[in-house]
Chains A and B, each alone.
Chain A
Amino acid sequence: MKRLKLPPMGVFHRGIPMEQHKEPALSQPLDLLTNTPEPQRMEGQPVYPDLEHVEPFEIIRAAKAAGIIDERDGLPLFKKLKACVAKGVFIRVDAVDDEPYLSSQLGPLLRFREECVSGLRLACKAITAADSGIIEVYRNMADLEIKIPRSIEGIRVRRIGGFYPTEIRSGYSLVEEEGKRYLYLGSCALIHLHRAVFQGLAQTTAFLTVGGNCVAHPCNLEVSLGLPVTDVLDRCGLTETPTRVVVGGSMTGQSVSDTDKALVTVTTRGVLAFRDKEQTDRSPCIRCGRCVQVCPMGLNPMMLYRSIQQGLERETEALDYKHCIECMCCSFECPARLEIAEAIKEYRRGRRSAT
């Protein structure tokens, strides 16, 4: 499916400028929450002294042995690297956290700078990249106490502007732009790559942000895989009982029904605990058109919602429901608190399972 750069249509903007709420989580020290005392070294995996003494294929083999999964799309890192070997691909490091409350790529990047850049250099060597790569961060974060430098260890830091959702949030990792191909790798995956090659460690942790309006000490954590969400929340403390606990981003995450059974996985980006105000009344759609204004793909969420609720299949097809990227902007803006994006998501799931 082609991802598109939409020409501006009409007078109104697309996307939503969000209040990011990255602090205080971003400025706190990044701690480790683990259930094993010692990091586990892989058996049979050699440890390389430095960048000059490791071959490209050995880097990819180390990534496979360590089982590193890229947190931005859930794909194994070695597969991504293998597919781009010697193809003139540029690497971009994804440290863009444009969902509010999350900073699980930006935080580790700033705390473990050398490791991340070292991982980037390893990845560039592994695929014989055309240049030494760029780190991308989000620009529109107004409440930061920490300053993001212009370059980290010699690698340029590029600031991505725009409203939520920014362009690279569509989830695709191999992008062709003006004839050049770019591979997006998550910053945490590069940290794990550095540890795998130079310390022989498998990936046993995930970096995530703990936040939300009922967490006592929001922070970024490095959490052992498989720990239940309850432990993570206990570590940071709760000021009051949450009405929802979300695993993932505040816009696109999944809410958990049992925090003891929900476990931290490799693609967990955040654990957020919210206490909502009670929703008093259900109002109908008043046709204000805000959802239409903010849809980044130029769709008409209002008409889609109506046609899905009324079961009009041909009309839903004609409204291009397949191009929805599930960014949840429409539901966010809706004054009547309708579950527009959820309806479209359910419909797509239903159609996909039907075919």
Chain B
Amino acid sequence: MKPPRKPRADRPQNTAAVLPKDPHEDAFFARSGIVAITAFAGPFAAVGATTLKNSAAMTLALLMTLLPASLLRFCLREKAGLPRWIEVPLCTLSSMAMACLASVLLPRLFPLALDSLGLYLFLFASYSVVAAVFSEKKVRTAQGAAGWAMQFVLLFALVTGVVGFVRELLAYGQVWGISLLPSGFTLEGAKMPFFGLILLGLLIGLLRYFRSLYAVLHRRRAR
């Protein structure tokens, strides 16, 4: 008979318990990154990131909306004397304005992006809410605000980039418009949202694996 498993109290609750506590080292593998991917990048990766070009377009749009919103929020909180409740509406307005600007500028770079993404370009305004929730403890300086926004955009770029790359490869046999696979071997289902969500799940698993590897390496180095 198998020996009974250790009671729950003995086993570590989650890998966060073994992660290093140094905030500088915590930057890229932040727990908030994983939550942010699941909660907010999910729909974008599942529906919008069907090709690598689409992913690039979305990342640029995010950069254009999030960076000003993050800086604006920092200014409102630290410099101006306005009440707290006005942050979210003002940031959302600024995000929407920047999204409109993006919808005008992006077709110059990615002609087909606006057609395939449509409404999703304007949904980036929702990221201002993300900024409100996740940057509470981290933002003390303007560089901090910009750095946080850049970190978020880079993570988003990574997720949608990987998902878009795999889906474009499987569905069209191309990467960034260049044919790689012999024609005839395409999986039409990779264009569909369910495949994007599956890939997202696999990617999250991979990221958690790397995180645990990182923690193990860090522990070994600390000894």
Q: Which residues of A contact B (CB under 8 A)?
A: 308-311, 339, 342-343, 346
13 A–B pairs (Cβ distance < 8 Å), ordered by A: A308-B4, A309-B4, A309-B5, A310-B5, A311-B5, A311-B6, A311-B7, A311-B8, A339-B1, A342-B1, A343-B1, A343-B4, A346-B4
Query: Nearest residue in A to B7 (C-beta to C-beta)?
Result: A311
CA distance A310 to B8 in the complex (A): 8
Q: What's the least CB distance linking B16 to chain A, in Å? A: 21
For A346, the chain B residues whose CB sits under 8 A away are 4
Query: Nearest residue in B to A308 (C-beta to C-beta)?
Result: B4
For A339, the chain B residues whose CB sits under 8 A away are 1
CA distance A311 to B6 in the complex (A): 8
Query: Nearest residue in B to A282 (C-beta to C-beta)?
Result: B2
Give chain B's interface residue range (CB within 8 Å of chain A).
Answer: under 10
Known pairs A309-B5, A311-B6; list 11 more (Cβ under 8 Å): A308-B4, A309-B4, A310-B5, A311-B5, A311-B7, A311-B8, A339-B1, A342-B1, A343-B1, A343-B4, A346-B4
For B5, the chain A residues whose CB sits under 8 A away are 309-311
**Interface 0/1 of B191-221, CB less than 8 Å to A:** 0000000000000000000000000000000
For B6, the chain A residues whose CB sits under 8 A away are 311
For B4, the chain A residues whose CB sits under 8 A away are 308-309, 343, 346
CA distance A207 to B8 in the complex (A): 47
Query: Nearest residue in B to A347 (C-beta to C-beta)?
Result: B4
- 9 closest A-B pairs by beta carbon, nearest first, are A339-B1, A311-B7, A311-B8, A342-B1, A309-B5, A311-B5, A310-B5, A346-B4, A309-B4
Q: What's the least CB distance linking A339 to chain B, in Å? A: 5
CA distance A42 to B1 in the complex (A): 47
Query: Nearest residue in A to B10 (C-beta to C-beta)?
Result: A311
Q: What's the least CB distance linking A348 to chain B, in Å? A: 13
CA distance A230 to B134 in the complex (A): 73
CA distance A311 to B5 in the complex (A): 7
CA distance A310 to B7 in the complex (A): 8
Q: What's the least CB distance linking B176 to chain A, in Å? A: 44
CA distance A309 to B6 in the complex (A): 9
Query: Nearest residue in A to B6 (C-beta to C-beta)?
Result: A311
Q: What's the least CB distance linking B14 to chain A, in Å? A: 16
Query: Nearest residue in B to A312 (C-beta to C-beta)?
Result: B8
**Interface 0/1 of B5-22, CB less than 8 Å to A:** 111100000000000000
Choose among B4, B5, B7, B8 the residue with the greatest number of A CB atoms under 10 Å from its CB.
B4
CA distance A342 to B2 in the complex (A): 11
CA distance A339 to B8 in the complex (A): 21
Query: Nearest residue in B to A309 (C-beta to C-beta)?
Result: B5
Q: What's the least CB distance linking A285 to chain B, in Å? A: 12
Q: What's the least CB distance linking B9 to chain A, in Å? A: 9
Query: Nearest residue in A to B8 (C-beta to C-beta)?
Result: A311
For B1, the chain A residues whose CB sits under 8 A away are 339, 342-343
For B8, the chain A residues whose CB sits under 8 A away are 311
Q: What's the least CB distance linking A283 to chain B, in Å? A: 13
CA distance A308 to B2 in the complex (A): 12
CA distance A309 to B1 in the complex (A): 12
Query: Nearest residue in A to B9 (C-beta to C-beta)?
Result: A311
CA distance A249 to B5 in the complex (A): 30
For A343, the chain B residues whose CB sits under 8 A away are 1, 4
Question: Which residues 1-53 in B have Cβ within 8 Å of A in the complex?
Answer: 1, 4-8
For A310, the chain B residues whose CB sits under 8 A away are 5
Q: What's the least CB distance linking A12 to chain B, in Å? A: 28
Query: Nearest residue in B to A310 (C-beta to C-beta)?
Result: B5
CA distance A309 to B5 in the complex (A): 6
Q: What's the least CB distance linking A307 to chain B, in Å? A: 12
Q: What's the least CB distance linking B217 to chain A, in Å? A: 30
Query: Nearest residue in B to A350 (C-beta to C-beta)?
Result: B4
Question: Which residues 101-130 in B have Cβ within 8 Å of A in the complex?
Answer: none
Q: What's the least CB distance linking A166 to chain B, in Å? A: 28
Q: What's the least CB distance linking B175 to chain A, in Å? A: 40
Q: What's the least CB distance linking A257 to chain B, in Å? A: 15
